A = this chain, B = another copy of it.
């Protein structure tokens, strides 16, 4: 086996880890929809009104599904961008990545609990919200670990990393998302209880602003 071929094999091993992660992401993001069960009315209740009513009951689940879909989609993109710099791997990286995947795999479950208890009555319960937020914190923390471990030059895993200031932005952002979600817990004590759910929606514009600012400051090109 010549060195060129050997290099190819190493690259394939790295790609395999990445494509395995992609498969886990793809399954987790698609399984989310399974939690939204089709409402099954008894035939004597087959009226437009009854159906719309049961679809209305599904609304909090659908909102929960959408939030989680965009979160997982966003985390996939960050994973995609981050591993764009990776040129090597080691056992520790495999484990950190596996723990990151664990945090993603738990999302259909925590989204399920979160959606199930987002009904008017369920909104007074703090536990579903706390479970969901803890899941996000777990993802955020593992992402922070991934960024730290990969960008650490000692580990010799990455090449062509962006400017250190941008790596710092990425690491801060990994922790900022959970911080915003954590905010929703104290907010959940304020009436009306559904306010806490709207805190989540702050995540997307805030992340956008941070990203744009960082992009502008350093004229960063994601694909270079």
Contacts and interface: CB of A to CB of B under 8 A. Distances in A.
Interface string A25-59: 11111111111101110010011100110010000
A46 B124 contact: yes
Interface residues of A, number: 74
A38 B38 contact: no
Interface in A53-98: 55, 69-70, 73, 76-77, 80, 84, 87-91, 94, 98
Contacts of A128: 51
A30 B24 contact: yes
Given A35-B38, A69-B105, A160-B1, A20 B16 contact: no
A122 B33 contact: no
A32 to B, nearest CB: 8
A15 B18 contact: no
Q: Is the interface of A mostly helix, strand, loop or mixed?
A: helix
B223 A90 contact: yes
B127 A51 contact: yes
A29 B24 contact: yes
Given A1-B87, A80-B94, A125 B222 contact: no
A27 B23 contact: yes
A88 B221 CA distance: 13
Contacts of A113: 38-39
Interface of A: 1, 6, 9-10, 12-13, 15-20, 22-36, 38-40, 43, 46-48, 51-52, 55, 69-70, 73, 76-77, 80, 84, 87-91, 94, 98, 101-102, 105-106, 108-109, 112-113, 116-117, 119, 121-122, 124-128, 131, 159-160, 222-223
